[in-house]
Amino acid sequence: MTDQTQLGGVSSVQGGARQKDGASPVPTAPPWPPIERPGQTDAPAGTDRSHTIVVLAYDRHGALDRIVGVLRRRRAKMQAFAIGRNEFPGMMRITIVMNDSEVAVEQLVEQLRKIVDVQHVVNLSSEQTVARELALIKVNSNDSQHSNEIIELANQFGAHVVDVTQQTLTLEVTGSEEKVENLVHSLQSFGIREVARTGRVAMTRGVEQSI
């Protein structure tokens, strides 16, 4: 037997719904489009690219939580997040590297600007940006021959030794992400024990200020 429920003159039938008087069927699904995630856009697939966002905010209780909260709600596709001091006392400088469409990033920038602790936000283009990353790389070094080979390779990348033990050498390198990646790849044959990377920090070229 078909399961039916009488509700205010409308007979609801399992597997669909129809009006009792024989009028047009009542739709079983809403006609409006589904709700999209915050920041979602109709940008075609493949339009995502890397963006560098610099945020200047007051260094006070809860400020960082509010900034991270916006990033989480917008589902930002973050690749790096670096926090540090800058030239203004009582302020912090946050560099966010993310991969998304231009429209989604601009929407995120507008939301960050609404946070009471944030003084300024800027989305830097790659053409106007000086960007660097610092990395510490700990490599196995069991004898002097290996140590010499590692040091010679490090010199080719502008890296230098910051710590030496009987079993390891720790190198420090500063440069582009590509440079750091290439050095890490070149050291794999010696055996890498640990890598610590700061993520990208950036500012505009010349006399123009990022903030």
Residue 145 or 163, more confident: 163
CATH no., domain 49-124 = 3.30.70.260
Q: Starting at the edge strand that comes first in sequence, how are the strands of the sheet with 49-58 ordered?
A: 78-84, 91-100, 49-58, 118-124
Parse the chain into domains and list their residue ranges: 49-124, 130-204
pLDDT digits (tens, 9 = 90+) for 91-122: 999 999 998 888 889 999 999 999 999 999 99
Q: What is the pTM of this model?
A: 0.69
- Cα separation, 51 vs 29, in Å, equals 39
CATH no., domain 130-204 = 3.30.70.1150
What would the DSSP string read from start to end of 66-93?
A: HHHHHHHHTT--EEEEEEE--SSTTEEE
Least confident of 39-48, 149-158, 160-169, 187-196: 39-48
- Cα separation, 183 vs 138, in Å, equals 12
